[in-house]
Structure 1
């Protein structure tokens, strides 16, 4: 992952925030419109397709990892990693529906370095494999 300098991180103006933030790929963002966490969600949105961690997000927004974990969990009920995974799953579902890319291509496109790990996480979140999910959603 490229180093992310916090000086380069431009928060969205408060008036641009609504209940949801538009994702670059025109998906409705899965993130809540919480102004206190907007930088966190913007960083995840901009970088979910790369291998990022809690540490990367914390550095980008200027918090230590432990504080950021507590802040996000208190405000949303979920961890930073949960939000990263959920954004990746939303992008994966979109690619499964809208493209004919194979599962390994989709896994890489949404930030997973290992297809097997993507497969396991998808199955945990959806109860079925990506291929079966695609087939059932398209029929």
Structure 2
């Protein structure tokens, strides 16, 4: 099983180095204090800068969130210039040596992935025991940009973020990286889904605990599988990810409570496991095309 990784340093192989000594400003947001397994996320707004040579024990992905910025990178003693547009990504494979500069204030996402996570997911999804992630520079990738936006939204929620949703995003992100940015072309192995017994165990556990901030580890432990392997088989069996099934159960329970007319919408939101009424309203409307208030009025 994977555990929470320590905070990686972007600009040094030394984990204990102070990131603020190597970049002009501290990150605006950081997942350092959150229990995210196998991943670390920061959001930066940095002034014009030139880094020293750096390496990281993690696969590091920088995703540009500024319009048309000139990025300098070094290949040996030669400096190469590239234009990076909003949504472009740069990948630094673990333990690679890199040096970069930028010519104005720059906003970017920094994602660091534990190579152990990638190895585990590669083994369980494509049947290989090692994976080589390749470097890339100023490459457009709308899907990873969407992943970053979704993760930063969860990061803004702090400790109230949905662990299951974050793990779902990390699994999808890892599979995308393996398929698109590894040294060999890989296809996912066919999966036959969970056995009927294990599927019932998982569903029963979710049904009993869907109002809690579940994690994939919580659910997968019930059936004795790793988190990624479980979520892959669960989707094969149900057509939904574990996160989607939890949301489905919350919405169905919320409908029951709203029809009873006894609780306020805020109380319903809390009882079905949402951290805020606004989040509950947004999710409820997405799944029913009505706000909770509208649904209650329609069922009077």
Normalising by the residue count of structure 1, what TM-score does the alignment of the two structures yield?
A: 0.70
- After TM superposition, what 4+ stretches of structure 1 lie above 3 angstroms from structure 2? none
Runs of 5+ consecutive residues of structure 1 not aligned to the other structure = 1-33
Query: Paired residue for 2:286?
Result: 124
2 CA distance for matches of 1:103 and 1:118?
9
In our comparison, the structure showing a higher alpha carbon Rg is 2
Number of residue-to-residue matches in the alignment? 105
- In the alignment, what sits opposite 1:93? 255
Deviates more, 1:35-44 or 1:85-94: 35-44
Within 2, Cα distance between the matches of 1:72 and 1:85? 15
1:109 aligns with 2:271: yes
Q: Is the 8 A contact 1:97 1:137 kept in 2?
A: yes
State the partner residue of 2:124: none
Please report the TM-score for the alignment, with normalisation by the length of structure 2.
0.34
Higher helix share: 1
Report the CA distance between 1:124 and its aligned residue: 0.5
* 1:60-113 Cα deviation digits (max 9, x unpaired): 332211111111111111100111000111110000001321111011101112
Partner of 1:83: 245
Instruction: Say which is worse superposed, 55-64 or 66-75, in terms of deviation.
Output: 55-64
Q: 1:70 aligns to what?
A: 232
Higher strand share: 2
Shift of 1:116: 1.5
- What secondary structure is seen at the aligned counterpart in 2 of 1:100? coil
- Cα RMSD after superposing both structures: 1.3
Unaligned 5+ segments in structure 2 are 1-195
